[in-house]
Amino acid sequence: MSIFTPTNQIRLTNVAVVRMKRAGKRFEIACYKNKVVGWRSGVEKDLDEVLQTHSVFVNVSKGQVAKKEDLISAFGTDDQTEICKQILTKGEVQVSDKERHTQLEQMFRDIATIVADKCVNPETKRPYTVILIERAMKDIHYSVKPNKSTKQQALEVIKQLKEKMKIERAHMRLRFILPVNEGKKLKEKLKPLIKVVESEDYNQQLEIVCLIDPGCFREIDELIKKETKGKGSLEVLNLKDVEEGDEKFE
């Protein structure tokens, strides 16, 4: 037996609803749970992975699709995919208090994990545990921003924690091999970007092993390529210069 469904109704399950009010009317789109944040942070780029359907609704839970004339009046177009993109980017995600709390808790843990992975105590070179970073984040009353990526927020957290504890990003260990002629001049330009020079060797070429802040890697790489016209080389010896064992608070 077939069940009659009105043509302006679509039933969906396991939905995250994003809502926008425009021209005095409410418009909604149906997304997959946990995908909206990924789209807004740039992690997810495939619209079909985010939207359950390219339809625009007036009420997702009732399956009521928006009328063409209402879309044109509110958005100046009836291109549903383009309207979906607008609502997805600027609309308000409808989640229950419980879902919101769970989502924020997970993001809080993810941020703490990134910080623990990237940072050390600069005096001991030992990494901090995730639990310790979570405790420190609570001490500074860090508030998670659901529309910002966890990576961006981790960098903010590191800045804020620096004011309260001994913490900095773990240094990268690099080896430069530079032509002697360009090497001496280039070394002066690289100096402000290097934290510690561990060894320096002049033979047919200039070889330097050093520690840098990971944030300077791209600038150093581009500088070496440009100044040596591709003759110089850059090798990453360690992504993180750390000692064994976890750091503990005194």
> What's the whole-model pTM score?
0.58
234: confidence class by pLDDT, cuts 50, 70, 90? confident
162 and 176 in a single domain? The answer is: no
pLDDT of residue 244: 57
Mean pLDDT of 95-113: 87
d(CA 148, CA 176): 36
pLDDT of residue 48: 94
Is the pLDDT at 214 greater than 90? The verdict is no
Residue 83, both tokens: 């309207």
28 and 81 in a single domain? The answer is: yes
113: confidence class by pLDDT, cuts 50, 70, 90? very high
Is the pLDDT at 239 greater than 80? The verdict is no
pLDDT of residue 248: 54
Mean per-residue pLDDT of the chain: 86
DSSP states of 55-89: --EEETTTTEEPPHHHHHHHHS---HHHHHHHHHH
Final residue belonging to a domain, choices 168, 194, 228:
168
pLDDT of residue 247: 53
Is 76 inside a domain boundary?
yes
What's the CATH number where 89 sits? 3.30.1250.10
| Alpha-carbon dihedral angle through residues 76, 77, 83, 87, given to the nearest 10 degrees | 10
Greater confidence (125 vs 137) lies with 137
11: confidence class by pLDDT, cuts 50, 70, 90? low
Is 243 inside a domain boundary?
no
Residue 146, both tokens: 């659901």
d(CA 207, CA 190): 13
Closest alpha carbon to 31 in 97, 78, 88: 88
Range of the domain at 71: 16-94
pLDDT of residue 6: 47
Is the pLDDT at 1 greater than 50? The verdict is no
pLDDT of residue 97: 78
180-190 vs 217-228: helix crossing angle, rounded to 10: 150
Tokens 């984040």 sit on residue: 137
Greater confidence (88 vs 203) lies with 88
Is 8 inside a domain boundary?
no
**Residue 23 identity:** A
* Tens-digit pLDDT profile for residues 65-76: 999 999 999 999
pLDDT of residue 88: 93
